[in-house]
């Protein structure tokens, strides 16, 4: 039951609530997802010790979650094409709560890997649907800002949720980090039930219609921008702790502060950049890719200076707003396949999360050192810019036909 009053749009009954309450409910879900996604990395040492496994084996816990995201986003979107978005959001967040609760109860390494995979399944579909709902409760000129508010939950998690889960893991055991996420997920269920509008199911939505996103060139180019261009940020972030330790020679007590600076950059980026994107969406995306290429390219030059590298890490974090911009772009070009395109944005995000660290790892294996992660990142950002130019060319051709 939602709070508000009813009205009709295109023959469908809609419940109206204040947009800020809707956005707060959706962002709380983003906060829960961001906490579990990033906190697992910091909980790994505790899990290793408890389950008596090595670091390489423990890393499969993270990979299992990412695999769940990649598989779950398109599959759930197709199977649930005819379900009302509010109800689907409730189901997804309920499954997310269940997966994290089971993770907290896992009795073995194998069961934990399975439950982390299960926890990842709702991730992409939730963010995609949350972005669509956020855009639907504001005026067209504020869509990107609304999507940015949802993504703000994810970025704030890197500043608040992750340290909280890590502290719990250190103080009372890693399982309590997942119990924290379970609690946040259940809180999200309550808030969505109270505040999110029930819009019904549009007659044109179908599984076949959602699958058309996979044939839409504009959608595929947009996803490719994210999969490549976003990879640059991850190439640096994945090895940032090691870089700060061995190159910058920061103390172990100071390194978390720089990681928080990165999260602060992402948060501010998702507040400020969407204001420009609402006026000029694709030009802002191109500008942000150039920004990221410069910030990442500077990283090798400043990695030895604590103050300069902190400032540069903040600038790299701002580039994280690209995901919000691309989410709105997908709404514009997806046609009937709104749900699928929005969900696939987070598949692209996870592909970037795999591509960036892999390429940076190759550079490290060849002996180029931790500074080289910035060079790899800059090249990926420029690669994203090349794909962006192809998308702009395709857009102009479409207008001429």
Contact 373, 235 (CB under 8 A): yes
pLDDT of residue 76: 84
Kindly tell me if the per-residue pLDDT of 347 is higher than 60. yes
Q: Which of 270, 273, 195, 264 is nearest to 28 (CA)?
A: 195
Kindly tell me if the per-residue pLDDT of 59 is higher than 60. yes
The 10s digit of each residue's pLDDT in 259-268 is 888 889 988 9
Q: How confident is the model at residue 274 (pLDDT cuts 50, 70, 90)?
A: confident
**Of the candidate ranges 32-46, 252-266, 329-343, the one whose mean pLDDT is the lowest:** 329-343
Task: Please give the backbone phi and psi of residue 99, each rounded to the nearest 5 degrees, phi first.
Answer: -60, -40
Kindly tell me if the per-residue pLDDT of 13 is higher than 50. no
Higher per-residue pLDDT: 254 or 221: 221
User: Considering the entire predicted model, what is its pTM?
Assistant: 0.78
What mean pLDDT is predicted for residues 31-50?
Answer: 82
The dihedral of CA 322, 205, 24, 65: what is its sign?
Answer: negative
Q: How confident is the model at residue 5 (pLDDT cuts 50, 70, 90)?
A: very low
Contact 352, 230 (CB under 8 A): yes
What mean pLDDT is predicted for residues 39-55?
Answer: 79
Our CA dihedral for 187, 191, 194, 200, rounded to 10 degrees, sits at: -110
Q: Which CATH number fits domain 205-400: 3.40.1350.10, 1.20.1250.20, 1.20.140.10, 3.30.450.20?
A: 1.20.1250.20
pLDDT of residue 371: 93
Name, in order, each residue with C-beta under 8 angstroms of 147's C-beta and a sequence gap of 6 or more: 131, 134, 135, 274, 324, 327, 328
Q: How confident is the model at residue 373 (pLDDT cuts 50, 70, 90)?
A: very high
Q: Where are the domains of the chain?
A: 18-202, 205-400
pLDDT of residue 241: 78
What mean pLDDT is predicted for residues 151-178?
Answer: 83
Residue 69 token pair: 């995201």
DSSP codes joined into one string, 162-216: HHHHHHHHHHH-THHHHHHHHHHHHHHHHHHHHHS------TT--HHHHHGGGG-
Helix (H, G, I), strand (E, B) or coil at 9: strand
What mean pLDDT is predicted for residues 172-194?
Answer: 93
pLDDT of residue 89: 93
pLDDT of residue 206: 55
Residue 101 token pair: 């609760």
Kind and range of the H or E run holding 104: helix 85-105
pLDDT of residue 221: 92
Burial 7-34, CB ≥16 within 10 A → b, else e: eeeeeeebbebebebbbebbbbbbbbbb
Average confidence score pLDDT of the chain: 84
* CATH topology match: 18-202 vs 205-400: yes
d(CA 200, CA 230): 34
What mean pLDDT is predicted for residues 13-29?
Answer: 78
**Of the candidate ranges 206-210, 219-223, 235-239, 243-247, the one whose mean pLDDT is the lowest:** 206-210
Q: Which CATH number fits domain 18-202: 1.20.1250.20, 3.30.70.20, 2.40.37.10, 1.10.3720.10?
A: 1.20.1250.20
């Amino acid at each position: 039951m939602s709070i508000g009053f009813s009205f009709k749009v295109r023959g469908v009954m809609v419940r109206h609530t204040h947009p800020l309450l809707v956005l707060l409910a959706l962002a709380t879900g983003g906060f829960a997802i961001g906490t579990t996604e990033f906190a697992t990395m910091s909980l790994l040492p505790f899990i290793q010790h408890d389950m008596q496994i090595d670091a390489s084996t423990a890393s499969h816990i993270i990979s299992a979650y990412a695999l769940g995201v990649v598989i779950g986003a398109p599959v759930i979107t197709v199977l649930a094409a005819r379900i009302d978005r509010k109800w689907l959001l409730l189901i997804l967040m309920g499954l997310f709560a269940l997966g994290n609760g089971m993770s907290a109860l896992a009795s073995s390494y194998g069961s934990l890997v399975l439950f982390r995979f299960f926890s990842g399944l709702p991730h992409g579909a939730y963010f995609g649907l949350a972005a669509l709902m956020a855009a639907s409760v504001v005026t067209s000129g504020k869509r990107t800002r609304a999507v940015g508010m949802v993504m703000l939950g994810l970025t704030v998690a890197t500043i608040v949720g992750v340290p909280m889960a890590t502290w719990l893991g250190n103080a009372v055991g890693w399982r309590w980090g997942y119990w924290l996420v379970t609690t946040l997920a259940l809180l999200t269920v309550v808030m969505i039930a109270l505040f999110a509008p029930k819009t019904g199911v549009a007659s044109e939505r179908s599984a076949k219609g959602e699958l058309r996103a996979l044939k839409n060139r504009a959608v595929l180019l947009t996803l490719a921008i994210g999969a490549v261009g976003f990879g640059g940020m991850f190439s640096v972030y994945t090895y940032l702790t090691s870089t700060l330790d061995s190159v910058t020679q920061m103390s172990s007590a100071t390194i978390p502060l720089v990681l928080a600076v990165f999260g602060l950059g992402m948060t501010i980026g998702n507040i400020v950049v969407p204001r420009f994107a609402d006026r000029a969406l694709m030009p802002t995306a191109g500008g942000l890719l150039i920004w990221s290429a410069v910030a990442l390219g500077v990283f090798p030059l400043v990695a030895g200076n604590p103050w300069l590298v902190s400032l540069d890490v903040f600038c790299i974090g701002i580039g994280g707003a690209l995901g919000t911009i691309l989410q709105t772009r997908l709404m514009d070009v997806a046609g009937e396949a709104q749900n699928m395109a929005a969900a696939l944005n987070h598949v692209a995000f996870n592909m970037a999360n795999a591509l960036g660290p892999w390429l940076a790892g190759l550079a490290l294996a060849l002996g180029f050192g931790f500074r080289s992660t910035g060079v790899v990142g800059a090249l990926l950002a420029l690669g994203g810019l090349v794909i962006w130019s192809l998308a702009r060319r395709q857009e102009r051709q479409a207008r001429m036909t």
